[in-house]
Amino acid sequence: MRIEAIEIRRVSIPFLEPFRTSFGTLTHKEAVILRVVGSDSFGWGECTALEAPTYSSEYVDGVEHVLTHQLLPRTFAARDVTATGLASLLADVKGHPMAKAAIEMAVLDAELRAVGLSLATYLGSTRVAVDAGVSVGIMSDTAELVDAVAAFVECGYRRVKIKIEPGWDVEPVRALRERWPDLPLQVDANAAYERRDARHLARLDEFDLILLEQPLAAGDLLGHAQLARMLRTPICLDESIESARDAADAIRVGAAEIINIKAGRVGGLLEARRVHDVCAAHGVAVWCGGMQETGLGRAANVALASLPGFTLPGDTSASDRYFQCDITPPFRLLDGRLEVPTGPGLGIEPCDDALGGRTISSRVVRP
């Protein structure tokens, strides 16, 4: 595809309520949205980077800069741009996987729209709907947490994940287990602990959790392997996995019994599928993580989560988990599941009024 123009748009959508994690409190979703225009098609992409470099080194201001000055000039310089060729085309720019993933999503969306094929079908989907889980932030006290989880259980979510950090771990989990002995429950530490906390984290074993997600620093595979040998609760890696090779290494050293796949974190949907394939070959379960995406990123996540190796509910919540009004038609929870889009490409696109109302800047870049 010959790319004629790329629109870079910044949007800001307030959350229904603040979402607190160990790396900060989020009050709104600010995202970089791309629209690629080719000679015979167009496509949408979303960058999953946060407003500040707290989850990873990428952040929206930096994403816009590297897109403008490094990635898009290389993309325009190619006479024929394909989603499968983008990784090689942009390989000399080190890092920036989320920014690269946004370009890949938009190009892939355009390619699939041109031939009338859905993203889910292209990736290898085996489902028409995916089980939806919900992620719950750190609360002021356990009573508030129990009330919040009760509302999500009432909505029909098939799994609950809560954020934990030192000082907010064992007792919140205990409160939930006392209320819901059989609730599918997991916890996410976002690398808030150290190796010396192993004995404390082992106290979580009594609660029959699905998994303990990313307890240690992203680069500490050996620490996670040691922790996995000490705990009965399965260790799941998130921030540690930036490629299919990382996944293979983590499995080889015993650092991960489960892996959370985020397309943005690994550089795009195509690498995410490769991570899925590596894990499937080793019998390691995977699930789809989330970054409070708009409907564009959510559509991509739901398509990805419909692959056969995604055997655990992901953070594929309905749109009204976070937003009163998304920039796309909303994803709705139906019997604890989200339907997989079947239209060409992402199968969804922004509503003009909603997109315009949430836009804080927009510009078009041409070759």
pLDDT for res 24: 83
pLDDT for res 146: 98
Of the chain, the percentage scoring pLDDT greater than 70 comes to 100
Per CATH, is 120-339 categorized as 3.20.20.120?
A: yes
- Mean local confidence (pLDDT), 211-218: 98
Residue 352 token pair: 């003009």
The CATH number of domain 3-115+350-365, selected from 3.30.390.10, 2.60.420.10, 3.40.630.10, 2.40.50.140: 3.30.390.10
pLDDT for res 99: 98
Which comes out higher in pLDDT, residue 22 or 207?
207
pLDDT for res 177: 98
Phi, psi of 130 (to 5 degrees): -125, 145
| Residue 365 pLDDT level (bands cut at 50, 70, 90) | very high
* pLDDT (tens digit per residue) in 129-161: 999 999 999 999 999 999 999 999 999 999 999
Please name the helix (run of DSSP H) or strand (run of DSSP E) that holds residue 153, with its range, or none.
helix 142-155
Catalytic residues: 163, 262
Q: Residue 22 pLDDT > 90, yes or no? A: no
Pair type for strands 185-188 and 159-163:
parallel
Domain range annotation of the chain: 3-115+350-365, 120-339
Alpha carbon dihedral 112, 241, 274, 36, in 10-degree steps, equals: 20
pLDDT for res 23: 81
Residue pair 323/351 in contact (Cβ under 8 Å)? The answer is no
* pLDDT (tens digit per residue) in 171-214: 999 999 999 999 999 999 999 999 999 999 999 999 999 999 99
Q: Do domains 3-115+350-365 and 120-339 have the same CATH topology?
A: no
Q: Residue 55 pLDDT > 90, yes or no? A: yes
Output the DSSP codes for 16-64.
EEEEEETTEEEEEEEEEEEEEEESS-EEEEE---BSSTTSSS-BHHHHH
- Mean local confidence (pLDDT), 106-110: 98
Q: Residue 243 pLDDT > 90, yes or no? A: yes
- Mean local confidence (pLDDT), 217-230: 97
Say what the pTM is: 0.96
pLDDT for res 79: 84
- Mean local confidence (pLDDT), 216-244: 98
* pLDDT (tens digit per residue) in 292-319: 999 999 999 999 999 999 999 999 999 9
Please name the helix (run of DSSP H) or strand (run of DSSP E) that holds residue 120, with its range, or none.
helix 119-123
Of the chain, the percentage scoring pLDDT greater than 90 comes to 96
| Residue 32 pLDDT level (bands cut at 50, 70, 90) | very high
pLDDT for res 90: 97
Query: Of the candidates 191, 182, 143, which has an alpha carbon nearest to the alpha carbon of residue 164?
Result: 191
**Mean of per-residue pLDDT scores for the chain:** 97
